[in-house]
Structures are given as structure tokens and as C-alpha cells.
Chains A and B, each alone.
Chain A
Amino acid sequence: MTDDIVLLLRRAGFGPTAAEVGAARRLGYASTLSGLVAPAGPDVGATSAPVPNLGPDPFVLLPRATEAQQVVGSRRRTEQTVALARWWLDRMTVADHQAVEKLIFFWHGHWATSVAKVRSPQLMFGQLREFREARDFADLAHRMVLDRALVYWLDGQHNKKAAPNENLARELFELFMLGVGQYTERDIKEAGRALAGWRVILDREKLVSEPKDRDTGRKTILGATANFDANGLVDLLLQHPTCRRFIASRLWFRYASSTQPIPERTREAMAAEFPAPMAMLRVLFGDEAFQATRGTMVQQPVEWLVGAMRHLGLRPAAMPEQVFSRIYWAMEALGQRPFAPPSVGGWPAGAAWLTSAAAQVRLTIAGILVDLVRPGPLTPEAVAHLLCVDRWTDRTYAVLRDARNDRLKLMLGLVSPEYLVT
């Protein structure tokens, strides 16, 4: 069963190194799993990626920017967004607590908010901190419903008693907490009232309450009647029996299979650990249904990139700025630029990443990465060992064997179907 450990490490984190696989094999599955979901002590690796100081949002200093200032300010925001993404990808690469970092990336896809509309990198950074600081899903949901980036993204600042906007309420039900079909349109209308009266002001650390736009009246939501406000609404949704099952199925979708539904038994066992996400993952990774999903998950581009950097011993912080910039924008072409999901529905999954356009971009990025290292003499077996692939197909073995040089062998290993699919 030693190979199951590789599956566990690949799914729970961003691509284990050969050394980590060796250590895990010595520990055994159960101890490795415990170490992943409940890491002991501080994350030593992550200390080499200190939190960046982005500086203020340029538009805070320019409340009434001229057209020329707007151009400069937008450019500065883009630079800050790139710097933020560089730090985040760097941290994913060097952190020892891999499952913690992967879970934060999961939350980013779950509460999918895009800088393309939010614009302010500081707001996105604030949201990222909430993902890290929240104790569990219940705490996180309370933080999110009043998160400046999420509220702005879903037009919460337009939601007023006199002119309701239901966008945030709808997604809270449909995508974040319950799943489609668990509520009526009337529930959403009433929930929208509970969320009215909050405004995003760039230079305030928190969301600003506008008492005149609040709706303090009674609302009937999912059969309960009370003077619900934002936190009251979240509490109501958290208690709904569907919520825990929905979160279990979302974790399954990203960690186990995006094509096979979660088995009911697994779902119930995970739901019993709600709202602690790591405890839910411990159940998932210990379930035999998880083991049966081997060979079905397509790595998301960020997972693939971070894994590749870990295997090659690279990190964004050590790359020349222009090189990182090329990779960053190539990630946009690949469809997964951090902080910019395509919609509130989050990142695509599975076969959606396997287009020929993506194949082209992946080759480009792999080419950039291998140009940053000097590989020693490599056989197909050595490439497999380095990349923690347990077996090449005859096809890929022949391609690697016949590749003209070591740089090419490594590049082809990184884009190989065996490396892409876990």
C-alpha cells in the first residue's frame, strides 16, 4: 500500500518531493495523515516567505483621481497584485505545512472572488488573511459575509433597504453554504434584506455600516422568522442540515473526484466532523473511497506550477522579476491566475484544464522553469523519481528515453499526462 501515500501527499499538498515521500513511507499512512492535517509546531519552511508589505492602495491617496492619475494608479495596483501573487505562490512552494496551504487555496476557489472586479489588491489580501485566520468553516462564514472583497464582488454595497440587491444572498445559498435547490426565491429575497446596509470604503479596515440602509424588520428565511442580520443569517445557514453535507461534497470535489459524486457514507462521516475542515479531510483521506479515485484528478494549473517548482527546487521569490512576470501572465492564459477566478462559481475542474490551448501554454511554462535549473544526467527512471511519478506509460517512457537532452527530458516529464493527473 506504499503507493497510496504518494496519492495522499499529492492530493493533500502541492506535490511532494522525493525526500518527503521517503519520510512518509517510513512513518506509514496513519502517521503521515496525522502530520498533514494536524501539523505540530510552527511552519519553519514558511518563515522564509515573510508576509509582504504591499503599501497602500494608490486610490486611497487619490479619492478624486484625474484620468492620468487613474492610469498610474491602475498600473500600481497591477504591480501590487503581481507582488501579492508572487508571495502567495512562494509561500505555497516553501511551506512545510502543505495541507494548510492547500486548504487556503481551496477556500480561495470556494469563496471565489476576483481582483478583476474588486480591483484593490489590499482587499484581496485581506480576504486571504481571513482564510488563514479562521478557526473553522463557521468562523470563516461569519468573516466572509462581512468581508470587504466578497461584499464588493457581489454588489453588497448596492444592497440597501430601499433598493435591495440579492447577489450576495443568492450565492451565499447556492455556492457557498447550501448548494442549489435547497431554498426558495422568497428565502433569497428575505436573506438579501438581512444583508442590506454595508458599504466598502477603501481606507477603512472594515466594512462600514450604513444604519439608514439597514433593514431591521422581521424576515422569514427557511421557515424561521426573526430580525435576522448578516451574522444571524449565517448562523441560520450553518445550522441547516444541508450545509455540512454541502461542504463535505465540495471538499470531495476538489480533493477526491470532480466527476464521481461523493458516496453517501463518506459524506455523512465527513459531515459529522463539520465545521472543522481538517477533521473532515482526515475522514476523507482515511476513506477507501478516496483511494479508489486514483488517476481521476487533473491538477489545477496552480497545483501543477507549485508542484513543479517544488520538484525542481525553484521558488518565485528567487526568480528574476521578468521571469516571474512571464509565468504569472502565462497562468492567466492557462486559466488560473491567482486572485482572478473566471466567475463566482470558482475554478473549472477536470477535463476543462485539458484543452489544446492549455497544452500549448503548459509547454511554455515548463520551458521557462527548466531553463532556471541545470539538470544532471537524467534517465526516464530518474525523471520519475524526481517528479514522484510512480510509473511511466510505454509512450512517455519512449518519449523521455529518446529526448535529445536532459533539459528536454525534464520539460517533457513536467507536461506528461502521468504528471498532470493524480
Chain B
Amino acid sequence: MDALTRRRFLIASGVVGGGALAAGAGVLGFHELLRTAEKTRAGDVEGGLPTLVLVTLYGGNDGLNTVVPYADAAYHSARPELAYAPAQVLPLDQTLGLNPMLRGMRRLWDAKQLGIVLGVGYPKPDRSHFKSMDIWQTASPGTPAPTGWVGRWLDGISAATETAVSFEPALPPMLVGKSRIGVCVSYRGLTLPSGVSPDVVSALGQVEPGESEMQARAAASYADLITMNRAVMKSAGSGSDEQGHSGGEGVPATGTGGDNALSAQLALVARCVESQVPTRVYSVSLGGFDTHAGERVWQETLLRHLDDALSAFVDRMGRSAAGRRVTVVVYSEFGRRVRANASDGTDHGTAGPVFVLGHGVAGGFYGEQPSLTDLDDGDLKATTDFRDVFGTVLAHVLAGDPDRHLGGYRAHLLPLLSSR
């Protein structure tokens, strides 16, 4: 899903409608966000509060080629052109293995820092990108809901502005509550017209005493551009981790575009966490997973970027006390059909795996891998409801009451977090 269709998704979902955003709510400069760290210092919270990072994969990631049931004959016969041979996958146990691009994830699995929840979905699956993403983000499969599940938690604690932050190009419906709304700190990289140096932009960004509030904010947006770029570049420079791929390369040129690449978004999250900004929920994303044709090359490019970005981030988080309290959840709006289509791709499907990563995560498998032969009209039958995963992080990361925020659903909590 490109930026344009993402915007259309926001329209179609109807969550970000009305006047709340029109008034300019939901926008915060990077410098203002970093400044909120003073609150943490004033409150003297040792090592920071537990933090959740939600990674949305837009377009419907093919779960069966992400966590591969390589030992299952039905997998190979359903998609002969697309299937990975047993020797290619990175085995996790006797039946399941990771896509060969996910080497960093495999290392985190070995370090017991990666939990994989299998077969995650919801009843009566919807195969529209818009509707299904709306369902995941509002946690409301039955009826459309005007608020997101994080937004309802924000409402419940009368959250401060900086409590939920999106580094995506737009604010996701997930972070929209009735009285509270997450903030969007958008960044598109730094590409300056010829002849313009970062120093000049920085100089234009100096706020002058006595200028009007709006004029000062306009100036600060230029200073922010340079500050954010430094944070991203610094991370890219030191990003080559010990065992995985190098940090910078492998960023897909298209998809969501390298300019708001997941690695850049996560570098900004890392900077905030290390600065002890009191944000509890970060939302980042990677798009382009709608692989109807020529799937293999395309998905591999995306998964490689995902792997680079996530493993570098989790490694970096291990180096600070605040970072060790970070939990990452990676999901997509649906998986894809078991059987390949005629264009070496797959069409919209149902259940898929959810990754949970972090230093407080109890690594391993959760739930059950759906059967490849007992299908629902050609699609996997979900074995775990996604609200169980979101309910677990609501309870164990955000100290919220899942029963209050999941629209009446009673979540079965999973033992995903080991050190809470």
C-alpha cells in the first residue's frame, strides 16, 4: 500500500474524520517531544516506564512465507513456485522455519528475545485491506468503531499529549481516542535542493525572541528537520550490527519509500527511548506487502529491510535500561491465500504470525500453526484472536485493563512477557 492508498485508508476507515485533526491537534515537533523527557527526570522514574513499539506491515504480509511450514507437503504442493525448500529456511523447530531473509530474527530467536504467535486473526475475516486494517487498529471485528484500541487506553488514563507517538507519515486510527489522540511526528528524510546546505536550514530554524508563536513553530520545523536527520544518520552509521546484515543497505527504493523507511522511523524511536521521553506507545510502519504478482523477490526485499531494521533496533535497545523495557509487536492486516495465483503471487488471505520482540520477551512459539488442509474456503483458520495479543501488551506492558479497551472482548492473556 503506497502513501496515497494509506491516506485513502484513513479516509475510508472514517476514524480520522471530523474536526479533531483539522484544528491541528495531533502534531508535535521533534524538539518538543524530546523536551518532554524533562518530565521523566522530574518524576524520577528509574530506567523509564515499559514502552510498546507497534510495527504495522501494510498490504497483507504473506505469513506462510515468513514463518514457513517447511516440513508440510501441503505447503509445497499449494504453491510450488513460491515455496521455500527445506534447505533454504532458517529452521526454528522440526516443522517451522524463518524466511531466509530473517537472519537477524533468527539470532534473536536463539537469544530468546523473539516470541512468535502463530495463526493470528479474527472471526469472519474480511479481505479488504481497508476494512481488515480498520479491524486490527480499532480491535473491533463485529462493528465499525470510531476509536482505536490504543486511543481508548489513552482516554482511560487521560493521557498526556506525548503518551502515544506515530513516526508514520500520517496518524494511524489505532492512536485515535474519543478525548485523547496520539501525535504524529512525521519525517521524510532530508533531501535538499542543490546549493542548500544543512547549516543554512539549521540557521533558518533558530527561533528569535519576540516572534509570534506560529512563526517560531515554522522556524523550529526547519531545525527539527536537521536534528531528526542527525539522529537517523547517526543510527545508520553505527547500525551495522555484529551478526546481522549491515544497517543501511537493503532499504527498498519503493514501497513506503526509503525516505520514511522503517529503519529511519525506528532510529527516531531509539533516540526518544534513550532520551527517556515519557512516550509509552510508538507506532511505525512498513508498506508494500500487497504481493499479488512476482511475490518472492518483492517480499524478500521487504523482509530483509524489516529484519535489518528490527534486529538493529532490538540490539540497540539492549544497551540501555530504558531500552530493555521496550516490547515490539509486528503485525499485518491479514496473511495471504495458501495457494499461489497464476502470477507467482498470492491474493488476500486470513491469519498470519505476529512477532513480539524485546529483552523482556519470553521467546518461543505461542498458539498453534493453522492446518494447511483443513481450510476455510482456501484460507487458513485463525487459531489465536489478535485481541489476545493486544490484550496481553495492554495488560503487561501498558498496565491497562484489556477488558475495558477491547470492545467487550475478554482477552486470553499470553505469557509473552517474562520480566514484568
Residues of chain A at the chain B interface (Cβ within 8 Å): 114, 116-117, 174-175, 180, 258-259, 295-298, 332-333, 342-352, 354-361, 363-364, 366-368, 393-396, 398-399, 403-405, 407-408, 411-412, 415-418, 420-421
Distance (Å) between the CB of B182 and the closest chain A CB?
Answer: 14
**Chain A residues, Cβ within 8 Å of B206:** 395
8 Å CB interface, B1-56 against A: 3-4, 7-8, 10-12, 16-24, 26-27, 29-30
Q: B203 at the A/B interface (Cβ < 8 Å)? A: yes
Contacts of A403 in B (CB 8 A): 200
Cα-based distance from A362 to B420 in the complex (angstroms) = 45
CB A394 to nearest CB in B, in angstroms, measures 6
Which residues of the other chain, A, contact B3 by a CB distance below 8 angstroms? 332-333
Q: Is B73 an interface residue (CB 8 A)?
A: no
* CB atoms of B201 and A296 under 8 A apart: no
Asked whether any CB of chain A lies closer than 8 Å to the CB of B222, the reply is yes
Q: Are B11's CB and A399's CB within 8 A?
A: no
Q: Total number of A-B contacts with CB less than 8 angstroms?
A: 165
Name the contact of A359 in the complex, choosing from B20, B21, B193, B225 (C-beta under 8 A).
Answer: B225
Question: Of B24, B169, B184, B204, which one neighbours A350 at CB under 8 angstroms?
Answer: B24
Given the known interface contacts A420-B218, A421-B212, the answer about A345 and B22 at a Cβ–Cβ threshold of 8 Å is yes
Contact A417:B218 (CB < 8 A) given known A258-B23, A398-B203, A412-B200: yes
- Among B211-230, those with CB < 8 Å from A are 211-222, 224-225, 228
Q: Tell me, in angstroms, the Cα distance from A259 to B217 when the chains sit together.
A: 14
- Is B253 among interface residues, defined by CB-CB distance under 8 A? no
A108 and B233 alpha carbons, distance in the complex (Å) = 40
User: B11 touches which one: A258, A342, A407, A416 (CB < 8 A)?
Assistant: A342
Q: Are B215 and A295 in contact (CB under 8 A)?
A: yes
Q: Residue B208 at the A interface, CB < 8 A? A: yes
- B216 and A343: CB pair below 8 A? no
The CA of A408 and the CA of B190, in the complex, are separated in Å by: 17
Residue among A344, A347, A363, A395 making CB contact with B193, cutoff 8 Å: A363
- Decide: B196 and A408 in contact? CB cutoff 8 A: yes
Task: Give bound CA distance, A359 to B222, whole Å.
Answer: 6
Complex Cα spacing A175 to B170, Å = 22
A346-B24 Cα distance, complex, nearest whole Å: 12
| Alpha-carbon gap, A332 to B217, bound state (A) | 22
Interface string of B239-276 (1 = CB under 8 A from A): 00000000000000000000000000000000000000
- B189-203 to A contact mask, C-beta < 8 Å, 1/0: 111111110001101
B418 smallest CB distance to A (angstroms): 37
Assess the A345–B186 pair: CB atoms within 8 A: no
Q: Given contacts A180-B18, A351-B27, list 11 more A-B pairs with CB under 8 A.
A: A347-B22, A354-B221, A355-B29, A355-B221, A357-B186, A359-B222, A360-B225, A363-B192, A395-B206, A395-B219, A421-B212
B18–A356 CB distance below 8 A: no
Q: Give Cα distance in the complex from A351 to B222, angstroms.
A: 13
Task: Report the separation of the CA atoms of residues A408 and B194 in the bound assembly, to the nearest whole angstrom.
Answer: 9
User: A296 to B196, Cβ gap below 8 A?
Assistant: no
Pairwise interchain contact A352-B27, C-beta atoms closer than 8 A? yes
- Between A and B, 24 residue pairs with Cβ closer than 8 Å are A174-B18, A258-B23, A295-B212, A295-B214, A332-B3, A342-B170, A344-B17, A345-B22, A350-B23, A354-B218, A355-B186, A357-B187, A358-B221, A359-B224, A360-B225, A363-B196, A368-B193, A395-B204, A396-B204, A399-B204, A412-B196, A412-B200, A417-B204, A421-B215
A182 CB, nearest partner CB in chain B, Å: 14
Q: Given A295-B214, A343-B17, A345-B19, A407 and B195 touching (CB < 8 A)?
A: yes
Residues of B close to A394: CB separation below 8 A: 208
Interchain CA distance A354-B224 in the complex, whole Å: 10
A333 to B7, CA, bound (A): 11
Q: Is B131 an interface residue (CB 8 A)?
A: no
Residue of A nearest to B170 (CB): A342
Q: In the complex, A415 Cα to B21 Cα: how many Å?
A: 24
Say whether A367 contacts B212, CB under 8 Å: no
Q: Does B188 contact A (CB under 8 A)?
A: yes
Min Cβ gap A179→B in Å is 9
* A348 adjacent to B221 (CB under 8 Å): no
A342 CA to B169 CA in the complex, in Å? 13
A349-B18 CB under 8 A given contacts A295-B214, A398-B203, A421-B214: no
Residues of A within 8 A of B215 (CB): 295, 393, 417-418, 420-421
Q: Chain B residues with Cβ under 8 A from A349's Cβ?
A: 22-24
Are A354 and B8 touching (Cβ within 8 A)? no
In the complex, the answer to whether A355 meets B195 with C-beta atoms within 8 Å is: no
A356 to B186, CA, bound (A): 7
CB-CB < 8 A to B187: which residues of A? 356-357
Cα of A333 to Cα of B22 in the assembled complex, Å: 17
Give A162 to B278 CA distance when docked, in angstroms: 51
Given the contacts A114-B11, A356-B224, A360-B225, A421 and B218 also touching, CB distance less than 8 Å: yes
10 shortest interchain CB distances as A-B pairs: A367-B193, A295-B212, A417-B218, A357-B186, A352-B24, A356-B224, A350-B24, A356-B225, A359-B221, A393-B208
What's the Cα separation between A324 and B196 when bound, in Å?
Answer: 22
Across the interface, which residues of A come within 8 angstroms of B30, CB to CB?
356
Smallest beta-carbon distance A386→chain B, Å: 18
A345 to B23, CA, bound (A): 10
Q: Is the CB of B214 within 8 A of A350?
A: yes
- Nearest-Cβ distance from residue A339 to partner chain B, whole angstroms: 13
User: CB-CB contacts of B334-374 with A at 8 A, as 1s and 0s?
Assistant: 00000000000000000000000000000000000000000
A395 with B23: CB separation less than 8 A: no
Could you tell me the distance in whole angstroms from the C-beta of B98 to the nearest C-beta in chain A?
34
Whether A343 touches B11, Cβ cut-off 8 Å, given contacts A174-B18, A258-B23, A349-B24, is yes
Set of chain B residues within 8 Å of A348, measured between Cβ atoms? 21-24
Provide the bound-state CA to CA distance between A297 and B20, in Å: 18
Chain A residues near B27 (CB, 8 Å)? 351-352, 354-355
Q: Known contacts being A180-B19, A393-B211, is A343 close to B10, with CB within 8 Å? A: yes
How many angstroms from the CA of A298 to the CA of B220 in the assembled complex?
14
Are A364 and B11 in contact, CB atoms less than 8 angstroms apart? no
**Nearest chain B CB to A218's CB is how many angstroms away?**
30
Most buried by B among A356, A364, A416, A417: A356
